[in-house]
Structure 1
């Protein structure tokens, strides 16, 4: 135990001595979370800029314009009056949606003729497009119901008769798990997991490469200390810091970004512990086999974002190609982000979470086994490649 604690103390000294490493381990995760939280703190997309091109200029068309102006979801841009102006506003990003009311709109409705109102919205951004389409439908449905009630009243129907006619079929809609359609709930927790994955994996992956570059790794290999103690001692500071960041970022997300984090606290802790073990074991294994810190940084930065994108967190796994889906199932980030969503948003219990816990548990074992049983021998330096922090070494001159 004393040997293990000495190695852990040695690693902690390096963390506190190197300013960049200290910032990366303790402050960068919170800084990233604060940055992402500031971007998504509004949660619900309101005040969508929209233009109403009223070619009819009738009482009814003005009522439609008022319906959009009174909706909290839209902000009507008043100086857009023609279709070409609408097109230009959509191109330059000043507008995200538009409504074109045709000529003779009120007259055709009075004669019960088919009349079409053109609605356009910007689909180049799926978040804008999805929300705008939903909001436009809400405004038109409400306006249509109000117009129908006014028409029936004009025909002499009483309020009770109108209510009876319009309530013949009643639609009761419930939105489960994320009733406000908050994009903070949808996306932010996934970003938190990506922060933990990126910073945690990179931090652990630099432990052995740092020793190699300073030519001190030989001291660990030649010391009468078993491999598992070397791994455990060097990994404890990073494992502890990463789990601390996990708890800190979840508290920050709940307290300041107002992300919904429900469900069992025990399950949340178990998922975090298993994910942390995977990251720690995998990072140490990478560090053992990497030639230098630059190589580690390149590979970790290169792989982390694609792992998140194919996980199924932001796009349904059922709509991802099969071979990519199989690849995603081999990655711990997939099971972590999806499992955490099941607990935090859906508040599912252990019976539903067993597949996620089993997968992460198996991956933790597979990541830790090669880390604790590594061979204590010095690997020969590969020929070529950059030399980092290793003295005044220069590439050979081309011949």
Structure 2
């Protein structure tokens, strides 16, 4: 028992003597849980941008528009003329749902015929599609059950006959991109991209930190110019990352038969740029870190919450602004958005130009940080060498 007590005391002292270990054990869990609490603070997805096609242009159709607009799940952004316009808005990501109220809806109801309202929903995010399907059904059934009828009856428009005829308003929905609500199609891209990022971050973040611990970093700095160091250090990781990108997506798309609709060349383009971005940021972390433990800590601090903050499952629009800003500063956010656009929606490069531009900008910022750290550390090593030569 005495040996156990001494061992416990020694480890306890080590934890509190090492600030890095103490931060990992105590500060990081508190930081993440606080962040995740703010992330899901809204508790549910609300204010989904919605476009309406009102081809009926009656009091009933206008009441339906108002009902969607006041419901907390939807936010009617505009009313368009045709179903094609609404589909284009959903296609471009400008709307998460569109509602089509056909011509003669009110007339059909008054003559005892059934009429239907169609909701077209972006199903690439199952959280959004499930929420939108249920909420749209609630809105339409509520109107059908009597909201509009009560108003018309108060005006003497329909009377007792309307109570019978109004029950013919039916709800129909069409889910785009993932009509079967496949959880495999929904989650596999996001989790796969997260794993690729995390492995690459850890690998490159240790490249310089390892040499610092081994005592070879000063010699490496002295013998190589910045461009040589950049290419020589990062090229092996880029080759491995590209190999992993091809193999893992081949397993998912071909091995498990996950459906995809876009050009795989476009996936390779955005995937390569994503890898370069992660490498530049990871290289900057490695330059900055004093040892491998610190490099690992910083890399994990970025990589671990990236998936939840990327907007892939919980949309950025539903996050508090400060949390969404963190998500928008992470490369995984733009990679996963581009993957969804290319593979799930079948879109081309014109739909992911913003993602490519942001990833390119992040790469330049990361490489600029590496450039500054390289010159600072080179100057510092030269100064230290000069001081030692003077003392000698």
TM-score normalised by structure 2 residue count: 0.52
- For 2:196 and 2:295, the matched residues in 1 are separated by 17
Q: In the alignment, which residue of structure 2 is the partner of 1:181?
A: 181
Q: In the alignment, which residue of structure 2 is the partner of 1:321?
A: 320
Please tell me whether the aligned partners of residues 281 and 368 of structure 1 are also in contact (alpha carbons under 8 angstroms).
yes
Please tell me whether the aligned partners of residues 312 and 334 of structure 1 are also in contact (alpha carbons under 8 angstroms).
yes
1:303 CA displacement: 2.7
**1:270-305: CA deviation from partner (whole Å, max 9, x where unpaired):** 111110111111111111110111111122223312
Alignment of 1:208-227 (within 5 A): 208-223=208-223, 225-227=224-226
1:322 CA displacement: 1.2
Alignment of 1:322-341 (within 5 A): 322-341=321-340
- SS, match of residue 254 in structure 1: helix
Q: In the alignment, which residue of structure 2 is the partner of 1:206?
A: 206
Alignment of 1:375-390 (within 5 A): 375=375, 377=378
Please tell me whether the aligned partners of residues 285 and 299 of structure 2 are also in contact (alpha carbons under 8 angstroms).
no
Q: In the alignment, which residue of structure 1 is the partner of 2:156?
A: none
Please tell me whether the aligned partners of residues 282 and 299 of structure 2 are also in contact (alpha carbons under 8 angstroms).
no
Structure showing greater Rg: 1
- For 1:353 and 1:169, the matched residues in 2 are separated by 39
- With over 3 angstroms needed to count, the CA separation of the structure-2 counterparts of 1:362 and 1:303, relative to structure 1, is closer
- For 2:253 and 2:227, the matched residues in 1 are separated by 37
Tell me, yes or no, if structure 1 residue 254 matches structure 2 residue 253: yes
- For 2:243 and 2:338, the matched residues in 1 are separated by 20
Please tell me whether the aligned partners of residues 231 and 372 of structure 1 are also in contact (alpha carbons under 8 angstroms).
no
1:260 CA displacement: 2.5
Q: In the alignment, which residue of structure 2 is the partner of 1:191?
A: 191
Tell me, yes or no, if structure 1 residue 238 matches structure 2 residue 234: no
Q: In the alignment, which residue of structure 2 is the partner of 1:279?
A: 278
Greater share of strand: 2
- For 1:211 and 1:275, the matched residues in 2 are separated by 26
- For 1:281 and 1:271, the matched residues in 2 are separated by 15
- For 1:258 and 1:268, the matched residues in 2 are separated by 17
- For 2:174 and 2:238, the matched residues in 1 are separated by 42
- The alignment of Structure 1 onto Structure 2 pairs a total of residues equal to 223
Greater share of helix: 2
- For 1:363 and 1:248, the matched residues in 2 are separated by 25
- SS, match of residue 262 in structure 2: coil
- For 1:221 and 1:350, the matched residues in 2 are separated by 39
**1:30-87: CA deviation from partner (whole Å, max 9, x where unpaired):** xxxxxxxxxxxxxxxxxxxxxxxxxxxxxxxxxxxxxxxxxxxxxxxxxxxxxxxxxx
- SS, match of residue 304 in structure 2: helix
1:171 CA displacement: 5.0
**1:121-173: CA deviation from partner (whole Å, max 9, x where unpaired):** xxxxx98xx69x97xx9xxx9xxxxxxxxxxxxxxxxxxxxxxx9x9666543
Q: In the alignment, which residue of structure 1 is the partner of 2:264?
A: 265
Please tell me whether the aligned partners of residues 201 and 303 of structure 2 are also in contact (alpha carbons under 8 angstroms).
no
Higher relative contact order (CA 8 A, sep 6+): 1
RMSD: 2.8
Structure 1: gaps of 5 or more residues? 1-125, 142-164, 381-399
